[in-house]
Amino acid sequence: MSESWIVGINPVEGALGNDAERVREVLVEQGQRNPRVQALAEQAKALRIPVHHRPREQLERLAGEARHQGVAARYEAPAPAGEQDLPALLEAAGSEALVLVLDGVTDPHNLGACLRSAAAAKVTAVVVPKDRAVGLTPVVRRASAGGADRVPLVAATNLARALRTLKDAGLWITGLAGDTEQSVYDLDLKGPVALVLGSEGEGMRRLTRETCDFVAKIPMPGTMESLNVSVATGIVLFEALRQRQAR
């Protein structure tokens, strides 16, 4: 386990609401009058978590590039999930398994936004390559608006092997790419499926693409050739949900 700082109202709220036993202390900016921050301080006190008031400069040092909004929490992060944890997650989800695979998303804002969409869509797990993706940094947690605490993030040492684990569990794997004629809207996404999106610049790696059962695109009749990965993630996840709700 390792300790890190969670900053911002929504991330701290998510940690207190979903994983309070791992929150070691909460820092509140001196003179902070935001009612939501004050409510978080009261919630922490009710949970017997120490609350300290600190100068704005101290919170800014802890937050780095992230916006702290007057509140931060010291958090003892659990060991990240690995490939060995996938079978149990998939078994628990059964026929409703919906897995998001991100092949090398390195921008923390994009990963955070993807985790937010994944949590909203009740995704079973988000799988990323261990060495080609940003970790759960304060910026990621801030951008996820609490999603980082609500959906398992699996760091796979070997992404191709993790994809084979998904296949062995009965999931159909669809990769997203722009250079194909197959539309994602024409695919059947109602059963246990995994949706794979590539990195911001290069897209899916060759081996990842070859492991997919299908490769499809999001039709774009306009003049743009591609979408931001977090936008594309939201589109395909909620298309899967739309189909499932229509069953």
pLDDT tens digits, 181-191: 899 999 999 99
- Using the predicted structure, report yes or no on whether residue 1 has a pLDDT greater than 60: no
- Ordered DSSP codes for 164-180: HHHHHTT-EEEEE-SS-
The more confident residue out of 223 and 6 is 6
155 and 70 belong to one structural domain: no
- Span 145-158, average pLDDT: 85
Q: What is the pLDDT of residue 82?
A: 86
Q: What is the pLDDT of residue 141?
A: 76
96 and 58 belong to one structural domain: no
Q: ∠ CA 134-137-140 to the nearest 5 degrees?
A: 80
How would you classify the pairing of strands 23-29 and 71-77? antiparallel
177 and 151 belong to one structural domain: yes
pLDDT tier at 247, thresholds 50, 70, 90: low
50 and 104 belong to one structural domain: no
Q: What is the CATH number of the domain that holds 26?
A: 3.30.1330.30
CA nearest 211: which of 166, 247, 146, 241? 166
pLDDT tens digits, 28-42: 999 999 999 999 999
Query: Which of 21, 56, 77 is the C-terminal boundary of a domain?
Result: 77
CB 195 within 8 A of CB 213: no
Percent of all residues in the chain with a pLDDT value above 90, rounded to a whole number: 63
What span, in angstroms and rounded, lies between the C-alpha atoms of 192 and 26?
Answer: 40
Query: Which of 45, 77, 109 is the C-terminal boundary of a domain?
Result: 77
175 and 61 belong to one structural domain: no
The 3-state secondary structure of 150-166 reads CCCEEEECCHHHHHHHH
- Span 10-23, average pLDDT: 87
46 and 88 belong to one structural domain: no
Structure tokens at 55: 């100068």
The more confident residue out of 138 and 11 is 11
- Span 95-112, average pLDDT: 92
27 and 149 belong to one structural domain: no
Least confident of 7-21, 124-138, 210-224, 232-246: 124-138
Q: What is the number of domains present in the chain? A: 2
145 and 238 belong to one structural domain: yes
Q: What is the CATH number of the domain that holds 139?
A: 3.40.1280.10
- For 65, list phi and psi in degrees, rounded to 5: -80, -15
- Span 140-154, average pLDDT: 81
What span, in angstroms and rounded, lies between the C-alpha atoms of 138 and 83?
Answer: 24
44 and 121 belong to one structural domain: no
Neighbours of 199 (CB within 10 A): 19
118 and 16 belong to one structural domain: no
134 and 19 belong to one structural domain: no
Percent of all residues in the chain with a pLDDT value above 70, rounded to a whole number: 97
96 and 168 belong to one structural domain: yes
Structure tokens at 93: 């989800």
The 3-state secondary structure of 19-31 reads CHHHEEEEEEECC
What span, in angstroms and rounded, lies between the C-alpha atoms of 160 and 212?
Answer: 10
The boundaries of the domain holding residue 186 are 83-245
pLDDT tens digits, 58-98: 999 988 877 899 999 998 877 778 889 999 999 999 999 99
- Span 123-132, average pLDDT: 90
Q: What is the pLDDT of residue 18?
A: 79
Query: Which of 30, 47, 77 is the C-terminal boundary of a domain?
Result: 77
- Using the predicted structure, report yes or no on whether residue 179 has a pLDDT greater than 70: yes
CA nearest 118: which of 136, 145, 91, 142? 145
- Upper half-sphere CA count for residue 37 (Cβ side, 13 Å): 20
- Using the predicted structure, report yes or no on whether residue 2 has a pLDDT greater than 70: no
